[in-house]
Amino acid sequence: MSEPTLLRVREVTTTFDTPTGPLTAVDAVSFDLAAHESLGVVGESGSGKTVLSRTIMGLQPRRGVSVTGSVLLNGTEVVGASEQAKRELWGRQVAMVFQDPMTSLNPVVKVGKQIDEVLRVRLGMDRSAARARAIELLEMVGIPAAATRYSAYPHSLSGGMRQRVVIAIALAGSPQLLLADEPTTGLDVTIQAQILNLLDEVQGRLGMSTILVTHDLGVVATRTRRLVVMYAGRVVETGTTRDVFARHRMPYTRALLESSPKVSNPSHTRLAAIPGRPPNLLDLPAGCAFAPRCAYATERCHHERPVLEPADETGHLFACFNPLPLRAASPS
């Protein structure tokens, strides 16, 4: 790989204490992310994708959660880092765009002031420099009449505009890694296309790495270079986005691809639905978590947990005892 590694995630496990026992939301997840690279993390609800992104950020409640493993961001360990040390990272090294632009902004503070805050606290800019830079950032994220909107309150902006403001705040500290957790869920399709284009554009312009966390395979298909597929807290397949789509080996990946309706298919195309539903994380099966829903499961799958193994030399890994043959795995 030509680019240096920016983020090294090794055996990260996040466990929550719940009244009914420990719940492992992220289970031994490992991956690398190179500088300037875009990675997609896909999975259904409860697959651990959001908890994973929060663990990478170092955003956990103080009590009731334990994280083991290692998250090395540009050489700095995030797991177990002090609040003080994490504040050094947030904004300048890593920033996050959350799903809901309605609630991630402070409703009683003007949007410009919310960008200023990052610039002044994190970068130590003075008031007027921060204001000028904030307006510049608002322009960069495509907000018309940026100087006027600087003084607008979040409620007067549409969902798409608010998400642009959230992105401007994330970009304010020129982070090297941008984590976007479902950044377009809840937005209309035409607005979603605008926001995804914006993220693409700023990534290229600022030379950031991005992690795009989503349940929507359409969002990651053309926007990321590599992909991590998660199920019940574990990585079940990873590789280049092209490989995962066209040469996937894990039955869950295929099931996920085939169960989503496609605009290019004629109407009334029967969907290959996955029977059952995602497992209860408090009561995971002993073997492969997907085995109860899997058409290819054998006795072994129910007792033994498969580990990630290489499919080829390109870094394509999958965790399955009965992988799909390559030919059959190509899209029909």
Partner 1 sequence: MSENLLSVRDLTVTFGPRGRRVSAVDGVSFDVAVGETLGLVGESGCGKSTTGRALMRVVEPTSGTVTLEGLDLTAASGRTLRERRTAMQMIFQDPISSLNPRRRARDIVAEPLDCWKRATGEERRRIVDDLLTQVGIDPVAYGDRYARQFSGGQCQRISIARALAMRPKLLICDEVVSALDVSVQAQILNLLEDLKAEYGLTLLFIAHDLAVVKNISDRVAVMYLGRLCEIGPADTLYAAPAHPYTRFLLGAALEADPEAPRRHEILEGEPPSPLDPPSGCRFRTRCPFATERCANETPALTEVAPGHRVACHYPLRVTVTPGPATTRTGPTGSGPSDAT
Which segments of 156-293 does DSSP mark as H helices, in order?
A: 159-171, 189-206, 217-221, 241-246, 251-259
Output 133 or 248, the one with its CB closest to partner 1: 248
Residue 5 burial (C-beta neighbours within 10 Å; 0-12, 13-18, 19+): middle
Q: What distance in Å separates the CA atoms of residue 84 and residue 275, rounded to the nearest whole number?
A: 47
Output 221 or 284, the one with its CB closest to partner 1: 221
Output 246 or 282, the one with its CB closest to partner 1: 246
Q: How far is the CB of 253 from partner 1 (least distance, A)?
A: 11
Residues forming the site for partner 1 (CB under 8 A): 44-45, 158, 160-161, 188-194, 196-197, 215-219, 221-222, 241-242, 245-246, 255-257, 259-275, 277-278, 331
First to last CA, the chain: 32
Residue 226 DSSP one-character state: E
What is the arrangement of strands in the sheet containing 65-73, beginning at the earlier edge strand?
21-34, 5-18, 65-73, 76-77
Q: How far is the CB of 97 from partner 1 (least distance, A)?
A: 18
Output 13 or 253, the one with its CB closest to partner 1: 253
Q: Which residue type occupies 191?
A: I
Output 40 or 58, the one with its CB closest to partner 1: 40
Q: How far is the CB of 58 from partner 1 (least distance, A)?
A: 28
Q: How far is the CB of 73 from partner 1 (least distance, A)?
A: 27
Q: How far is the CB of 81 from partner 1 (least distance, A)?
A: 33
